[in-house]
Amino acid sequence: MDILYGICSKFADELEVVMKCPICKSPTVDAFKPFCSRYCKNIDLNRWLSERYTLKEEFSEKEIVQNFK
Ligand SMILES: [Zn+2]
């Protein structure tokens, strides 16, 4: 039984190790899940915002072209 319990807790530890920051691959910190720090969280947010902004730009450009036709 002790051996089984040992295997189970080892497996649980490995599962936690899988949680890694998607930006820098450092271990995740609970306060900033799924990131490792406020810094990486901000990097991800900025990426997301700039992608969104780019899409919006393209869209409004098409709109302008249509309006001039
Ligand atoms: Zn990170």
Q: What pLDDT, in 10s, does the model give residues 25-68?
A: 999 999 999 999 999 999 999 999 998 877 766 666 666 666 66
Whole-model pTM: value is 0.52
- Determine contact, residues 21/33, Cβ cutoff 8 Å: no
How far does the centroid of ligand 1 lie from the alpha carbon of residue 23, in Å?
5
How far does the centroid of ligand 1 lie from the alpha carbon of residue 39, in Å?
7
With respect to residue 3, please indicate whether it lies within any of the assigned structural domains: no
How far does the centroid of ligand 1 lie from the alpha carbon of residue 32, in Å?
9
With respect to residue 50, please indicate whether it lies within any of the assigned structural domains: yes
With respect to residue 13, please indicate whether it lies within any of the assigned structural domains: no
Interval 11-21: pLDDT, tens: 665 555 568 99
CATH number of the domain residue 35 falls in: 3.30.50
- CA distances 43 to 29, 32, 36, 51, 63, Å, are 16, 12, 11, 12, 30
With respect to residue 37, please indicate whether it lies within any of the assigned structural domains: yes
- Determine contact, residues 50/58, Cβ cutoff 8 Å: no
With respect to residue 9, please indicate whether it lies within any of the assigned structural domains: no
How far does the centroid of ligand 1 lie from the alpha carbon of residue 20, in Å?
8
How far does the centroid of ligand 1 lie from the alpha carbon of residue 2, in Å?
36
Q: What is the mean pLDDT of residues 2-14?
A: 62
Which domain, by its residues, includes 45? 20-68
- The number of domains in the chain is 1
